[in-house]
Amino acid sequence: MKKYTSRATKWLAILTIISVAVLIAGIICILPHSSNVGLQIGLTMLGGLMSILFLACYFVEKSRYLTIDCEKIVLPRGADKNGKMSFQKIVININEIRSIKSELYKGDGIISKDTLFHKLKLKDGIAIKFTLYAYGKDAEKEILESIKKHV
């Protein structure tokens, strides 16, 4: 079984650690009763608020993993199932997949980049559309090769 997590997970963990360090620095400044109250309050509030924000984002992003094994694929939330967005994970048995097709959607280059949308057609007629851009190009190729190998 192979589990893929998004590239943003690592950066959110690093930002969380930096925010916790700022929070600790603010607490350390409070302890000796220094005269710079603005620094104490600023570091403590900034570190505390940013720690909560980045930690919450880290856990949300960490829960959006994709899993592939020899029997099934577990897609994260956000995939379209017959044109409707699914807010829960979708489990697909590999032997139910009839075909996979990838389509390139051109981005504007400013806000969005070019993205491949992948569409799985199942034997029972269900179409599932999803993207893999969050996992990186290498992981995207590996995931697609793994799916195509079983189809």
Q: What is the pLDDT of residue 121?
A: 92
What is the Cβ-side half-sphere exposure of residue 53, based on CA atoms within 13 angstroms? 10
Average pLDDT over residues 20-42: 84
Task: Tell me how many degrees the CA angle 61-63-66 measures, rounded to the nearest 5.
Answer: 100
For the chain, percent of residues with pLDDT exceeding 70: 99
- For the chain, the average pLDDT equals 89
Yes or no: say if 76 and 66 are a contact pair by the CB < 8 Å rule: yes
Instruction: Mention every residue, 6+ apart, whose C-beta is less than 8 A from residue 149.
Output: none
b/e string for 17-48 if b means 16 or more Cβ within 10 A? eebbebbebbeebeeeeeeeeeebeebbeebb
The Cα–Cα gap between 132 and 59 comes to 19
Yes or no: say if 64 and 6 are a contact pair by the CB < 8 Å rule: yes
Q: Provide DSSP, 21-72.
A: HHHHHHHHHHTTT-S-HHHHHHHHHHHHHHHHHHHHHHHHHHT--EEE-SSE
pLDDT interval class at 111 (50, 70, 90): confident
Q: What is the pLDDT of residue 106?
A: 85
Shortest CA distance to 89 belongs to which of 115, 65, 71? 65
Least confident span in 12-26, 41-55, 101-115:
101-115
Residue pLDDT, tens place only, 94-109:
888 899 999 988 878 7
- pLDDT greater than 80 at residue 80: yes
- pLDDT greater than 90 at residue 51: yes
The Cα–Cα gap between 32 and 117 comes to 56
Q: What is the pLDDT of residue 47?
A: 94
Average pLDDT over residues 110-116: 83
- pLDDT greater than 80 at residue 126: yes
Average pLDDT over residues 57-73: 90
